[in-house]
A and B are shown apart, each in its own frame.
Chain A
C-alpha cells in the first residue's frame, strides 16, 4: 500500500468525518428509534399473553398485528439500519477508502425508513401478508428494493475501490451479506407476493427466505463486525485465523441449505427436510471454528474484556451465536423436534439470534462507533455498563422462559390427555417470566438510546462555539 501523504490522509479523514457522517448518524439514530419501538411492541405482545383482553378493542393492536409490526421493525428497522451504519463504516475502514456520495446514502436512508413507516401503517390497518418476518405489505417491497440498491452499492463499491491489497474476513462477510440480501429479498417477494406460487411451495420458499434472511443477511454482517472488533479491541490477532476462510465458506453454504428444517413434519416431500437436516448438522464445523476464532481470541486478554464495554457486548453475542448454532443442530433431531416443534422454543431460537447475537454485537459496535465518530467519550461508564447488564439479564431471562416454557409446552402437547386450554394455563408462569425479560430489554434499549443521545447532545453543545473555527480550518 502506498504511503498516503499527510494531505490525502487528511482528505480521507475529512470525508470519513463529514460526508458520510451525516448518513452514519442518520442510520444510527433511526436504528435506535426502531429498536425502541420494536421492544415496545414486544412488551405489548407479552402483556397480551398474560391478559388477552389488553388493548383488544382496537383492531390495530390485536396480537397478530403487533407481532407483525414487531418482526418488521426488528428486521427492516433496527437490524437493517444498524447494518447500514456499522457495515459501511467497517468496510470503509478496512478498505482504506471512503464511502462516497453520502448525500445519496442519506436520501436512500430516508426512502428506506419511509417504506418501513408505510409498511407499519399498512400492517396496522390490516394489509399484512401471510408470511412471518416479511409481513410488510407487498406495495412497500419495491420501495425497499430501490432504497437498498441506492444504499448497498456504495458499500460494495468501497470494497472494489479499496486502496490496499488485503482482503480480511470481515470484508468477505460484509460483501457477501450486502450481495445476498437483495437476492433473497427479491426471490421471497417474487414467489410469495408478486407472482405467488401455488400450495406448499409458498411455505418452502418462505422457510428458505426466513432462514436466509437470518443466516445470510444478519449473521454475515454481525460476524463481519465480530471479526473486526474482537481482534481490534482485545489487541490480539484472531486465533487460528487461517481457518477463518473454511469457516466462512462452510458456514454460508451449509446455513443456506439448512432452511427446510423449519418444515420437519410439514406436508412437503421428506427429502427437502432430510437434506436440510444434514446441512444443519454440518454447521458443527463452522461453529467449532467460530468458537476458536472468536471466543478463543476474546478471552486471551481478560483485562481488555473487563475494561472495554464494546468487547463485553460482542463477546456475549459471540457466545450466544455459537450456542444458537448448536441448538439449531439439536432441534433437527427428530426426537427433539417432536417436542420442540410448534412451541415457544422456535421463538426463543429466533430471539437468541436477533437479540442474543445480532443486537448484542451491534450494541457493542454502536458503543464503539458513536464515541469514535463524535470524538467524544463517555464521562462515566456507569450507565453504559448498566445497559450491558440489563441487556444480558433481559436476554437470559427471556430465553430461559421461552426454552423451558416451550419444552414444558411440548411435552404436555405430546400427552394427548392434556387439553390445549390446560397447556395454555400451565404456561402462565413462563409467560410472566417472558414479559419480565421483555420489560428489562425495553428498559435496556431505552437506556441505550438515552446513553447515545446524551453523548450526541453533549458533543453538539461542545461543538457549537467551535463551529466557525472548524469551518475556517477546513477551508484553508
Chain B
C-alpha cells in the first residue's frame, strides 16, 4: 500500500504548495493595504507617515456608485471591459489615455468586487470618468451605443430605460437628450427616462478615475496622454 500513500501525499502537496506559494503569500503581502494620502511625509521619528489632513485615496464609493458597481457586475460588463492600466512596455494603455499612471493594488481596496477584466473588446474603464463625465452621453451610450459610437459592438441596454408619454403628471426632466435628427430619437411626445439602475450605473462610471497620486504610483502622464 506504500504506493497509495505516496500518491495521496503528492496530490496533497501539489495543491498545497501552489496555495501557500501564490495565495497565502500574497494575502500576507497585500491583505493589509489601507487608503493613503497622495504622498507621504516623514514624521518626527523619520518614518514615512500619511500627511495629516490630506484626502485619502482611493476614495470610498458613494452609495449610488456602489449600486452602479453591482449593476456593472449583473450586466456582465466585465466580459468586454477591463479596469487596469498596464506598464508601458506591455501595451499602449497609457498612450491611449486609459489612465495617467499604471494601476496598483491599492487602487482596488475600496471595491467590493475587483473587476480587473480579461478582455478588451471595448476600451478600458479604469479612468472612464476622467475621460467622459457627461451623464447624458453615458445614458445615451447605454440606451443605444450606436447613437454615440456608430459601429460599436456593445449591446444596447434598452431595459434600463422607460419610454413615457410626456404629460404633466410624469416628471420628464431627466429624459435623455438625443442629438438632433438622430434616427434613434423617440417619437414625438415620448420621452426616454433612465431608471434608477441606469442612473446608478452611470454614477459609478463617471466616478471611475485613478488619476490621483499614490506613494507607490505617481501620475506620470498629463491629460493629453503625452
Contacts and interface: CB of A to CB of B under 8 A. Distances in A.
Interface string B40-55: 0000000000000000
Interface string B134-172: 000000000001100111111111110000000000000
A187 interface: yes
A413 B104 CA distance: 22
A293 interface: no
A177 to B, nearest CB: 9
A272 B115 CA distance: 19
A338 B91 contact: yes
Interface in A218-263: 249, 252-253, 256-257, 259-260, 262-263
Residue from B22, B30, B120 whose CB has the most chain A CB atoms within 10 Å? B22
Nearest to A165: B3
A427 B121 CA distance: 10
Contact of B152 (A67, A341, A346, A424): A424
Interface string B82-112: 1010110111100110000011111111011
Given A179-B8, A216-B15, 19 more contacts: A57-B158, A62-B75, A63-B155, A129-B113, A130-B78, A131-B113, A167-B7, A180-B15, A187-B19, A199-B30, A199-B114, A200-B114, A202-B114, A253-B14, A265-B87, A266-B84, A267-B116, A268-B26, A416-B95
Dominant secondary structure at the B interface: loop
Interface string B5-42: 00110110011011101110011011101000000000
Contacts of B156: 52-53, 56
B105 A342 contact: no
Nearest to B153: A424
A295 interface: no
A56 B146 CA distance: 13
Contact of B30 (A58, A200, A421): A200
13 contacts: A52-B155, A56-B156, A62-B157, A130-B113, A132-B118, A180-B11, A199-B106, A202-B113, A267-B108, A276-B22, A341-B90, A424-B122, A427-B153
A347 to B, nearest CB: 7
Interface residues of A, number: 83
Given A53-B156, A216-B15, A413-B91, A204 B23 contact: yes
B76 A269 contact: no
A348 to B, nearest CB: 12
Interface string B61-94: 0000000000001111111101010110111100
Contacts of A56: 155-158
B19 to A, nearest CB: 7
**What bracket does the count of chain B residues touching chain A fall in?**
35 or more
Contacts of A382: none
Contacts of B33: 198-199
A135 B77 CA distance: 13
A204 B30 CA distance: 11
B86 A265 contact: yes
Contacts of A191: 23
Interface centre among A196, A212, A268 (most CB of B within 10 A): A268
Main SS at interface, chain A: helix
B179 interface: no
A65 B76 contact: yes
A200 B89 contact: no
A139 to B, nearest CB: 15
A52 B145 contact: yes
Contacts of A449: none
A52 B152 contact: yes
A141 to B, nearest CB: 16
Given A130-B113, A257-B22, A264-B90, A64 B79 contact: yes
B153 A267 contact: no
Interface string A190-226: 0100001111111111001000100010000000000
B119 interface: yes
A267 B155 contact: no
B112 A132 contact: no
Interface in A257-289: 257, 259-260, 262-269, 272, 275-276
